[in-house]
Amino acid sequence: MSNVLVNFRLNPDRPVRIKWLATDGVPGDGYKAQVTSVKMNGATLHMDSSAILEQTAPDPGGGIGGYVVTFNGMVGYAEDHTDRAHVDKLTDAEIEYDLVFVHEEDGRLAIEDQDYRILERPIAMAHKISARNA
């Protein structure tokens, strides 16, 4: 069976910029950023919580409550994967993504425009790395 690997990434030189408003924790201390899906080729590909590694850090130029988020992940798609037809069309592509913040203790989601506000959401990239036999 032939597997295809795809790298999904948002580079640190163009991160998501957010303003954190919640008072029951912050990204990296109470909340974890999580990419839940990517959108490419007219399709939405849902991501497992461990598929993409998100990095969150205080935004040096963002003032109080300012944070930046980047991500990088490698996802394997087997021939029988439900999203394989979309992945096969890919070489390099700009992608959109759904980003949420999950409370680390109880799993509830932070609410956009109540707990945080996205100030900048740059386009990310997808790159098909290789096909290999499994």
Q: What is the pLDDT of residues 5-21, one digit of tens each?
A: 999 999 999 999 999 99
pLDDT mean across residues, the chain: 91
**Integer Cα distance of 55 and 107 in angstroms:** 18
pLDDT of residue 40: 86
Tell me how far the alpha carbon of residue 126 is from its chain's centroid.
11
Sort strands 30-40 and 26-27 into parallel, antiparallel or unpaired: parallel
Output the pLDDT for position 129: 85
Tell me what pLDDT residue 133 has. Answer: 45
Task: Retrieve residue 119's tokens.
Answer: 């100030």
The dihedral built from the CA positions of residue 1, 35, 33 and 111, taken in this order, carries a sign that is negative
pTM of this prediction exceeds 0.85? yes
pLDDT tens across 80-96, in order? Answer: 988 888 888 888 899 99
In this prediction, residue 84 carries a pLDDT of 87
In this structure, the chain runs to a length of: 134
Q: Provide the pLDDT confidence category of residue 131 given band limits of 50, 70 and 90.
A: low
CB 102 within 8 Å of CB 109: yes
Is the predicted pLDDT of residue 118 greater than 80, yes or no? Answer: yes
